[in-house]
Structure 1
Amino acid sequence: MPHKRSAPSKDSTNEAKRQKKFKTLQEKVELLDLLREKKSYAAVARHYGINESTVRYIKKNEAAIRSTVAVSFCDSAKKVTTVRNKNIVRMESALALWITDCRKKNIPLDGNIIREKARKLYQQFATDAENPGPSTAPDPQAFQASKGWFDRFQKRFNIKSVSLHGEAASADTEAAQKYPETFRHMIEEKGYKPEQVFNMDETGLFWKKMPSRTYIMKDEAKAPGFKAQKDRVTLIMCGNAAGYMMKPGLIHKSANPRALKNKNKNLLPVYWMHNAKAWITKVLGSNWFHQCFIPQAKEYLHNLGMDFKVFLIMDNAGGHPLDLYYEGVQIEFLPANTTSLIQPMDQGVIRAFKALYTRNSLQHLVDAMDTDENFTLKGYWRNFTIATCLSVIQTALKEMKKETLNACWKKLWPECVHDYKGLSPEEIQHEAVDKAVTLAKILGGEGFEDITQEEVNNLIDAHSEPLTDQDLLELTESVSEEEKEVTDREEEEQEHGLTLERLSQIMRTTKELQGMIEAWDPHMVRALKVNNGIDAAIQTYKTVFTTMKKQRQQLPITMFLKPIKQSQHETPPEDDLSEDTTETPEE
């Protein structure tokens, strides 16, 4: 009698089932961005370790996904669509941003304060003139911010310990006094050197903001839809106790702004990231850690001949992942509410950088005024793009001295600090503010010619003020998908990068410039010196031009022939883009 096979148990059957791989909204947007970059469905599926049919299903729901992400702050959510009131969804996103901002700035909160803020935000969003109609603007009194709603809100956004009362949320002086001893013990135990100890913190930068009293801000504020002074990015700044500043991470609201068309994102003076609110999230924080921090730390320590042994300290803000791991890296979080007292980046580094950024923004304006006969301040400022901003950021970073960065570790690790005269953060800030006032007077006009140091300082400190309701309104506004698609099409139609023809034009223009200098300057020695400098500066492009010219000469003639259009009766070859008629929805 044949042996009977025992039926598999229910538990073993379940174990054999393939576990579903749920994607967060942020991951789905990144997946969709890969498809926009012309990656095949199969390639994207392999990259994420999911079925190709799942990729197609996500693509099919692209509009709903992007629309939800545009109004939602909770990027870790997995649901794509919901029947919930859109104004409540948007209000909750704004409220989460506000809570994160307040905790970062040590502003005391409790449940009652948060619920009252929720009611106020909902009323503003529900009665917003941009959302008329009963379907999108229900009765503001319909939302009561009940305790039950508050409990569900906490779970949805993973907000813990928000019941802070009175001074509990303000700076914790006692903890800040005790922690440096704990910190030194960890440093000594593992034998870390100043070059191996890093601190990271993020900050908002209103990169196109001027003092409100200046006439360009007064005039522009009257224009409908004007938001230039509110253009905001998030900078992730990181440096070590020896005074080395890493290339910062930058979070912009757009993946491909027009001003950076044809630019290689890997060759910018910042590590480029994006989300709809230009706000740090756990996903972007993890991205920065693995793709920006680790490579730079490895290269830096390798060049110094030191082992890759890193101690990274950061605060426990909402956008900082708590589960980061990399071999050779020890991560420690500062005690709650001590950031403003002992975190090095908050002891003058960030403020000194913003002071230099403000001064260099004004210097950029003055330089443009000196070189353009048709210069107008309003016209120039309207064309001050994110590309200009990156140029100003790079200049400000170059002016940050290692002695200044080192001085900011005085409260946390005084033993590693060298007392340099004239290079403290306070002295750098004061010098930059004085220079900014001088440059403003050169620009002239209402609000500039009589600008004061106090107004410049207020502008620098504006980034540390709590987010206003208007800020939250703008941060949670949905960006038109149609506008994004138009921008993408325009970018795809443009030819990218340095072509042979463009390099040739650069060479011709350089020769014309050198000819003008030689013909017009009566001082022959000076003219020769300048032309020699131009030759040296342009040599890199000459080399690229020669290389590309040789490559074109070596190409087969068939590369320049147009392919014959395939007959409709012929069967196209199979590739990674072949359609899969079976769809297996992910959710």
Structure 2
Amino acid sequence: LLGPPKRQRKMLTVTQKVGLLDMLKEGRSYSAVGRHYGLNESTVRYIKKEENNIRRTAAISFNKDAKRVVTVRNKTIIRMESQGDVEPSPSTSALHSEPSPFYASKGWFDKFQKRFGLKSVSLQGEATPADAAGAEAYAKTKFKTIIKEGTYKPEQVFNMGETGLFWKQIPSQAKASGFRGQKDRVTLVMCGNAAGFMIKPGLISRLKNPRALKNKNMSALPVYWMHNTMAWMTKALNLNWFKGCFIPEVKGYLTEKGLDFKVLLLIDNAGGFADDLSHDGVQIEFLPPNTSSLIQPMDQGIIRTFKALYTRNTLQHLVDAMDSDQNFSFKDYWREYTIASCLQHIQRAHQEMKSETLNGCWEKLWPEAVHNPTESRLDEIHRSVVETAVSLAKRLRGDGFDEITSDDVNSLIDAHSQPLTDEDLAEMTKPPSEGEVEEDKKAPSVDVDKEDGLTIDHLATMVRMLSQRKQQINENTSHVFQRRFKFLTLRHTRESLKLYYNL
């Protein structure tokens, strides 16, 4: 015969344990409290023994329904993780005023992510709904007043925007062996004026000196090169771009036009931009919050069309490579597709952006500056570019390329602006690999104006130097986790990316 059913183990939440401890504090006996909660007296005594840990956890815990009290953790970490749910105490305020270095292991970070459900973050655009009324009011009143008081001409009014670019991705339908899309990401900084002129794009990479650009004059590139660990815009890089790229580019342009250096620069309010930008002759104006998608010229199709051109150019280069090589291999081609190849396609896309198209994107903000208003013009150009990209893909024959549609190409273009997934974040926070950072002394110079990419033929040298680089990579890893930790913590406290850029 079977014995009585096994008694189910009962676990109390942190809140229930606090209530149990309060009953004991009131003078109730262990047995009486045990009967109240359906526990053995020994369990009640064990909970009493852990009273300090339980009350400490209850005071700072996010999850009041948690059933486990973990071994005492570092108090600084506990307070930091709890700052979104509790009022700051004097000790917490002191912690923020005098921060101490924090270094986290990968295991801690992964558990931190799971504990608070941190899934993804959008690097571009505005999280809240667009403010149509605010956008209309700004365009019809304040902006017109600024233009009138400053007597600005279309050549003197510029707009700057930024966007991410996964420069080594292809439509998902293409399943060629060794040709899968990769998460190599850069940030593009694009800026143009109401007359239809675009200055040289800025580019933020993870690397300061990529091996593919070895011995290149970085100031002669078709982009203004910047770098940081995450390839993201920061206030320091924004100031770098303003002083090193915007000012000299605009000065040269206005001098060529015979105009005074009197400039209005419009910037969106999404965060990440330095609030101390200043230069003689330059007026900085931030657009109202949640209006960029409605009135910012760069968001009226300029950036999206630029990405469509970049995608088409990538496929064109691929088709040309296949047509010129009887032994063409997708895998070899993709391995040799470097950042230098990316710069070629960025340069070509920049050259193909027509001034009348750029001018038309100012219609919602400054209709008086638009020469030939045609709402559908940019859509038609975009559609034409996408159709050309589809035709090029079908010429590649097989491996899924012949199944690519316009929707697939548009999905790839739009993917650059989608929120980053956990996989994207993990990929971006990896320390640069040995192959990425190693500048081999024998590596040939790569000219971005040429069609050929850089082959990887220095493996032996890299292997010899691996042991020397191992310690440095480990040190860099802790720094990466520190930056990633700070960013996600600030996101949890709902300060968003704007506070991250202040770090």
Question: By the TM > 0.5 criterion, same fold?
Answer: yes
Q: 1:411 to 1:88 in 2, by over 3 A?
A: farther
Q: Does 1:343 align with 2:343?
A: no
- Work out the percentage of aligned pairs sharing the same amino acid: 55
3-state secondary structure, aligned to 1:277: coil
Q: Is the 8 A contact 1:100 1:317 kept in 2?
A: no
- 1:2-35 C-alpha deviation (Å, 9 max, x unpaired): xxxxxxxxxxxxxxxxxxxxxxxxxxxxxxxxxx
Q: Is the 8 A contact 1:233 1:253 kept in 2?
A: yes
- 1:75-94 C-alpha deviation (Å, 9 max, x unpaired): xx997943566666799999
Amino acid corresponding to residue 177 of structure 1 in structure 2: E
CA distance in 1, matches of 2:373, 2:131: 29
2:363 maps to what in 1? 410
Matches within 5 A, 1:433-452: 433-452=386-405
Q: Is the 8 A contact 1:353 1:397 kept in 2?
A: yes
3-state secondary structure, aligned to 1:204: strand
316-325 or 471-480: which moved more?
471-480
2:150 maps to what in 1? 190
1:353 maps to what in 2? 306
1:212 maps to what in 2? 172
2:186 maps to what in 1? 233
Q: Is the 8 A contact 1:436 1:456 kept in 2?
A: yes
- 1:333-388 C-alpha deviation (Å, 9 max, x unpaired): 00011111110000000001011111111111111112222212232122111101
1:172 maps to what in 2? 131
1:101 maps to what in 2? 122
Q: 1:380 to 1:284 in 2, by over 3 A?
A: same
Q: Is the 8 A contact 2:178 2:330 kept in 1?
A: no
CA distance in 2, matches of 1:496, 1:344: 38
Q: Is the 8 A contact 1:403 1:423 kept in 2?
A: no
- 1:540-573 C-alpha deviation (Å, 9 max, x unpaired): xxxxxxxxxxxxxxxxxxxxxxxxxxxxxxxxxx
- 1:245-287 C-alpha deviation (Å, 9 max, x unpaired): 1000001111111111121101100001111111111110100
RMSD: 2.9
Amino acid corresponding to residue 139 of structure 2 in structure 1: P
Q: Is the 8 A contact 1:281 1:318 kept in 2?
A: no
3-state secondary structure, aligned to 1:201: strand
CA distance in 2, matches of 1:256, 1:420: 43
Amino acid corresponding to residue 292 of structure 1 in structure 2: C
Structure 1, unmatched stretches of 5+, are 1-76, 108-168, 222-227, 499-587
How far apart are residue 463 of structure 1 and its match?
1.2
CA distance in 1, matches of 2:119, 2:361: 28
3-state secondary structure, aligned to 1:332: strand
Matches within 5 A, 1:62-73: none
Q: 1:201 to 1:258 in 2, by over 3 A?
A: same
- 1:160-196 C-alpha deviation (Å, 9 max, x unpaired): xxxxxxxxx2111111111102101100111000000
1:201 maps to what in 2? 161
CA distance in 2, matches of 1:433, 1:237: 21
2:44 maps to what in 1? none
CA distance in 2, matches of 1:232, 1:383: 17
Q: Is the 8 A contact 2:359 2:370 kept in 1?
A: yes
How far apart are residue 422 of structure 1 and its match?
10
Q: 2:246 aligns with which of 293, 296, 302?
A: 293
TM-score by length of 2: 0.64
Amino acid corresponding to residue 394 of structure 1 in structure 2: Q
User: Which structure ranks higher in relative contact order (CA pairs < 8 Å, sequence separation ≥ 6)?
Assistant: 2
Q: 1:304 to 1:420 in 2, by over 3 A?
A: same
2:428 maps to what in 1? 475
1:163 maps to what in 2? none
Q: Does 1:454 align with 2:414?
A: no
Amino acid corresponding to residue 231 of structure 1 in structure 2: D
Q: 1:100 to 1:342 in 2, by over 3 A?
A: farther
CA distance in 2, matches of 1:84, 1:443: 46
Q: Is the 8 A contact 2:213 2:446 kept in 1?
A: no
How far apart are residue 316 of structure 1 and its match?
2.1
1:111 maps to what in 2? none
Amino acid corresponding to residue 172 of structure 1 in structure 2: D
Q: Is the 8 A contact 2:206 2:227 kept in 1?
A: yes
Q: Is the 8 A contact 1:251 1:278 kept in 2?
A: yes
Structure 2, unmatched stretches of 5+, are 1-96, 448-503
CA distance in 1, matches of 2:370, 2:377: 11
Q: Is the 8 A contact 2:172 2:408 kept in 1?
A: no
Amino acid corresponding to residue 204 of structure 1 in structure 2: G
Q: Is the 8 A contact 2:120 2:422 kept in 1?
A: no
TM-score by length of 1: 0.55
3-state secondary structure, aligned to 1:175: helix
78-87 or 422-431: which moved more?
78-87
CA distance in 2, matches of 1:367, 1:355: 18
Q: Does 1:389 align with 2:342?
A: yes
Matches within 5 A, 1:561-576: none
CA distance in 1, matches of 2:287, 2:409: 31
CA distance in 1, matches of 2:194, 2:119: 32
Amino acid corresponding to residue 132 of structure 2 in structure 1: T
1:247 maps to what in 2? 200
CA distance in 2, matches of 1:282, 1:386: 24
2:102 maps to what in 1? 82
CA distance in 2, matches of 1:324, 1:209: 34
- 1:490-544 C-alpha deviation (Å, 9 max, x unpaired): 24x558799xxxxxxxxxxxxxxxxxxxxxxxxxxxxxxxxxxxxxxxxxxxxxx
3-state secondary structure, aligned to 2:400: coil
Q: Is the 8 A contact 1:251 1:275 kept in 2?
A: yes
Amino acid corresponding to residue 166 of structure 2 in structure 1: F
Q: Is the 8 A contact 2:120 2:420 kept in 1?
A: no
How far apart are residue 300 of structure 1 and its match?
0.4
Amino acid corresponding to residue 215 of structure 1 in structure 2: K
Q: 1:373 to 1:347 in 2, by over 3 A?
A: same
CA distance in 1, matches of 2:305, 2:431: 33
CA distance in 1, matches of 2:320, 2:373: 32
Q: Is the 8 A contact 1:192 1:309 kept in 2?
A: yes
1:325 maps to what in 2? 278
User: What is the count of residue pairs matched by the alignment?
Assistant: 348
